Structure 1
Amino acid sequence: MNPSDHPTSTHAATISRRRRTRRPAALGALLLCLTTLATGCSTMNDADDLGYTPTTLDVEDARTRTKEISSEIFDLIGLPQGKTTPGGAGASRCKEDPEHLFSVRHPWSLYDVSEDELKQGFERLHQALPAKGWKIVSYGPNNSRAKSLELTADKVNEHFAVNAELWVGSKDPKKKNLIGITVVSGCFRAPEGTDLTHLY
């Protein structure tokens, strides 16, 4: 099942709004990891240097690969009966060279299963990632009021990172239990002649 395959619903839209209001810090850390992926998410000598040579790839092919990574994450969680929020992978220009470089971001959530199933799925993801070529960068409670369990990992042989958060246990009936996922690519180089002005 592809995380972008489910139709839009009011429930899914509510989850998406909730995720947008809670992810700035996590995404900031995730993007920092991507800019330093070649050195293992450590301090760079030159903040403007990517630290790697970007792969040349068409924008749509980069979107496709990013969604494939999301599907791999979905499979590792191991909850095929769960629902996922709709939405495709968005592309944006990289500040290091906005005329030629771009990256792709794919946020989605998995929900509509029990709290225990979500906890088990999150732990399966944590345990399975290293064997699938991912390096765990951080794992543990985050700085939110709820101290949600959060995981960030880099894909060792490709310039991708994933951030996952486990949101369970809220007493607010409007807040659904879920696993929130964001997959972010490093910078790709667009083929010569590609206009990156109107990326979406």
Structure 2
Amino acid sequence: MNKNRSAFKYMIRRTVLGSASALGLVVMMGCSSMTEPSAEQILGYQPEVREIAPAKRQVNDISSRVLDWMGVEGTVSEPAAGVRACDAVDPKLTKYYVVSHPWSIYDLRKGTFEQAMQNLRVQLPKHGWEITKDGPMKSRDKDPQIVAVDRKSHHTLTVEWLSNRAGSLKDMIGVDVDSRCYRAPEGTDIYKEK
């Protein structure tokens, strides 16, 4: 009986010590994996350090070229490119930012919306843009949509011909040009430069 009792105590002590070692290993490993991933790990690329003003100018220039490539004339919405948060890594907009320029063209005086979309299908690839989607939007109205990316600058472009608008709303083409996430230079107050 004593022999069995001693063997039992030894087995329990060994199990407890083994469990404690395993627990220590899990805690140590858990701590190392609890460090936050870097922006590069989250985004899949290293965000370029870039001043805000030139990044906004570049997006405005792209928008201007897109309008030219459409080959139509009409009323264009006024706002210029602005800064928004790079939500994946910095939703509070402290270090990282994206430049975005949503705009639209409506009340055409020359050309048609259909022509504008067709012109983009031809012009975008000629100017280094890859069309990644050309088809109906995922909406009730299934309006035409073109999505493209410039593989060199990594800007993205979404163009939507809103042709089935409710009530007295007129047809228009909505355009959105977006940059990748950039890192603002040290000491930049992003809110002041938005």
SS of the residue 2:56 aligns to:
helix
* TM-score, normalised relative to structure 2: 0.71
Distance 1:105 1:94 in 2: 11
**Could you tell me the TM-score, scaled by structure 1's length?**
0.69
**Cα distance in 2 between the residues matched to 1:47 and 1:144:** 33
Contact 1:115/1:169 (8 A) holds in 2: no
Confirm whether residue 192 of structure 1 aligns to residue 182 of structure 2.
Answer: no
Pairing partner for 2:84 from 68, 92, 105? 92
State the secondary structure of the residue aligned to 2:122: helix
Pair 1:122-2:117 in alignment: yes
Q: CA deviation at 1:61?
A: 1.3
Which of 144, 151, 158 is the equivalent residue of 1:163? 158
Aligned residues: 153
More contact order relative to length (CA 8 Å, sep ≥ 6): 1
**Aligned partners of 1:131, 1:101: CA distance in 2, in Å?**
31
Query: Are the structure 2 counterparts of residues 47 and 142 from structure 1 closer, same or farther at C-alpha, using a change threshold of 3 Å?
Result: farther
In terms of mean alpha carbon deviation, does 121-130 or 189-198 score higher? 189-198
Opposite residue 64 of structure 1, the aligned amino acid is: R
**1:93-119, CA deviations, whole angstroms, 9 ceiling, x for partnerless residues?**
323144321111100001111796111
Percent identity, aligned pairs only, is 33
Where has structure 1 moved over 6 Å in runs of 4 or more?
none
**Which sections of structure 2, spanning at least 5 residues, go unmatched?**
1-38
Would the aligned equivalents of 2:74 and 2:109 in 1 still touch at CA under 8 Å? no
Structure 2 counterpart of 1:94, one-letter code: C
Whose helix proportion is higher, 1 or 2? 2
How large is the RMSD of aligned CA atoms in angstroms? Answer: 2.3
2:175 matched residue in structure 1: 181
